[in-house]
Amino acid sequence: MAIGFDYGTANCSVAHIDNNQMREIALYGTDQTVPSTISAPNAETISEYLYRHYQITPCTEIGENLLRLAIRNNEEEGWDVLPEDVCFGKEALAQYLADPKEVYYVKSPKSFLGAMGLSPMQLAFFEDLVCAMMANIKHRTELALGRDVSQTVIGRPVNFQGRGGDKSNEQAEGILRRAANRAGFRDVEFQFEPVAAGLEYEASLTQEQKVLVVDIGGGTTDCSMIAMGPQWVGRMDRQQTLLSHTGQLVGGNDLDIYIAFRQMMHPFGMGSTSITGKMHPTTQFWNAIAINDVQAQRQFYGRDNLPTLQMLLRDAAEPEKMARLLKVHQDSLGYAIIKEAENCKIALASAPSYGANLKVGDELLQLEIDTEQLAYAITNPMQKITALVEEAVAQAGCQPDAIFMTGGSARSPILQQAVRQVLPHVPMTHGNYFGSVTAGLARWANILFR
């Protein structure tokens, strides 16, 4: 049986075609989406968890070395790896928020898959992370459907996050393919996420249109100009219909980071100075919350940064603020700050203001943020998104008949208005912001594997 699998930066979801009807699959109770998060007592737990409880073995010598190292380290620590030690989605976030310092937590592993300069052992570990998440989704899908699932079409962005261009894309897709195969998917194919979203929109058309699909995902934004209509539905060869593609490493996570950076980091010392009047380096505040940048996170949370933070605290004109930043380092609070920034983004899609709450040790910081402040905060990523829209239209050499918005962050009225300003006379529509890509992937899986 075949499914469409949206292994997203923000959320994961799956769907299949049943009696010519697209059906999303409930994975946790009635929830059809699972946040792309994973937690464990330590990093080593994940590799051993796959081996102990899923009988999933490495497919490379480096992976085998990683597993042996994980087992040895866990034995030395006296840690028996149990099935419940590894959590996913909302359970993973709850475990992390309950004790950030003692929990290994990763949000959006997909963000790191295209990163250049990673060691072979690091790449093998990311493969294990993805494999654990995919194995969990596959298991829950099979429980929901009551049958084995061995074929899948996985969505991918036009360009993964990473500075290596085609090399980043090849690395990331390779990790996803190997992880899916190890998780038990025999046949694995890929489809661009904006194209998949377009396939779902196309199913509703009664006439031919040129449609600009704007997919603002968790890690990337992709724009595709696609010729759509009844004559193309169900056809495998769609090369003629793909008029242009643009994509960049800017998405919902970037919006969250910019909201946190520009509206939430001042109580932690950003913008303040030392007693001699020297401004504190902004990189410390950025790196603390740049959850999609491996190097930035290493630089802030590494042991080598602790003396620097202690020096900044000692010399600070407002030491209470820098003490909070030191607490962020000590308790690994970056993800908690970003989660509150995400809550702010979601709330301001339908409300004029939001009261943010940031817990730092025993202290509760309360900040009021309105839509005007939000618009200022996300100016940089918003400009990148509108540039992608302009580039997609220029590449296609024609104006679209419609704009189809999809992806969780596409719900933002601010981003919608920004896209409208680029194409003011083109009607804008949307489907299921979270489900259009998944539905399109299911339709493509049904075509490929029927």
Per-residue confidence band for 28, with pLDDT thresholds at 50, 70 and 90: very high
Element (H, E) at 381: helix 379-396
Per-residue confidence band for 96, with pLDDT thresholds at 50, 70 and 90: confident
Same topology between domain 2-193 and domain 207-250+381-429: yes
Lowest mean pLDDT among 189-203, 226-240, 319-333, 404-418: 226-240
> What is the rounded distance in angstroms from the CA atom of residue 182 to the CA atom of residue 132?
9
- pLDDT at residue 108, rounded to an integer: 86
Residue scoring higher pLDDT (127 or 220): 127
Per-residue confidence band for 373, with pLDDT thresholds at 50, 70 and 90: very high
Mean pLDDT of 56-84: 93
> What is the rounded distance in angstroms from the CA atom of residue 388 to the CA atom of residue 223?
7
Q: According to CATH, what is the number of the domain 2-193?
A: 3.30.420.40
Mean pLDDT of 228-247: 86
How many percent of the chain have pLDDT more than 70? Answer: 100
Mean pLDDT of 145-150: 96
Backbone CA torsion sign across 25, 113, 248, 293: positive
**Alpha carbon distances (Å) from 140 to 14, 40, 80, 134, 269:** 10, 19, 24, 10, 44
Per-residue confidence band for 276, with pLDDT thresholds at 50, 70 and 90: very high
Per-residue confidence band for 126, with pLDDT thresholds at 50, 70 and 90: very high
Per-residue confidence band for 154, with pLDDT thresholds at 50, 70 and 90: very high
Instruction: Decide: helix, strand or coil at residue 323.
Output: helix
Residue the block writes with tokens 């943010």 = 356
151 with 2: CB under 8 angstroms? yes
Is the domain spanning 207-250+381-429 CATH 3.30.420.40? The answer is yes
384 with 395: CB under 8 angstroms? no
Per-residue confidence band for 60, with pLDDT thresholds at 50, 70 and 90: very high
The DSSP symbol for 397 reads T
Count of beta carbons in the 10 Å neighbourhood of residue 333: 23
> What is the rounded distance in angstroms from the CA atom of residue 242 to the CA atom of residue 228?
9
Mean pLDDT of 186-209: 91
Residue scoring higher pLDDT (163 or 182): 182
- Asked whether the predicted pLDDT for residue 238 surpasses 80, the reply is no
- Asked whether the predicted pLDDT for residue 433 surpasses 90, the reply is no
Mean pLDDT of 69-83: 92
Per-residue confidence band for 39, with pLDDT thresholds at 50, 70 and 90: very high
Mean pLDDT of 404-429: 95
- Asked whether the predicted pLDDT for residue 368 surpasses 90, the reply is yes
Average pLDDT, rounded, for the chain: 93
Per-residue confidence band for 86, with pLDDT thresholds at 50, 70 and 90: very high
Instruction: Decide: helix, strand or coil at residue 96.
Output: helix
- pLDDT at residue 295, rounded to an integer: 84
Burial code (b: 16+ CB inside 10 Å, e: under 16) for 32-66 equals bbbbbbbbbbbebbbbbbbbbbbebebeeebbeeb
- Asked whether the predicted pLDDT for residue 340 surpasses 90, the reply is yes
**Where in the chain are the domains?**
2-193, 207-250+381-429, 253-377
> What is the rounded distance in angstroms from the CA atom of residue 255 to the CA atom of residue 374?
9
- pLDDT at residue 82, rounded to an integer: 92
Instruction: Decide: helix, strand or coil at residue 388.
Output: helix
- pLDDT at residue 343, rounded to an integer: 96
Element (H, E) at 177: helix 166-183
The DSSP symbol for 79 reads P
> What is the rounded distance in angstroms from the CA atom of residue 108 to the CA atom of residue 10?
6
- Asked whether the predicted pLDDT for residue 294 surpasses 80, the reply is no
- Asked whether the predicted pLDDT for residue 161 surpasses 80, the reply is no
What are residue 54's phi and psi, to 5 degrees? -120, -5
Mean pLDDT of 133-157: 96
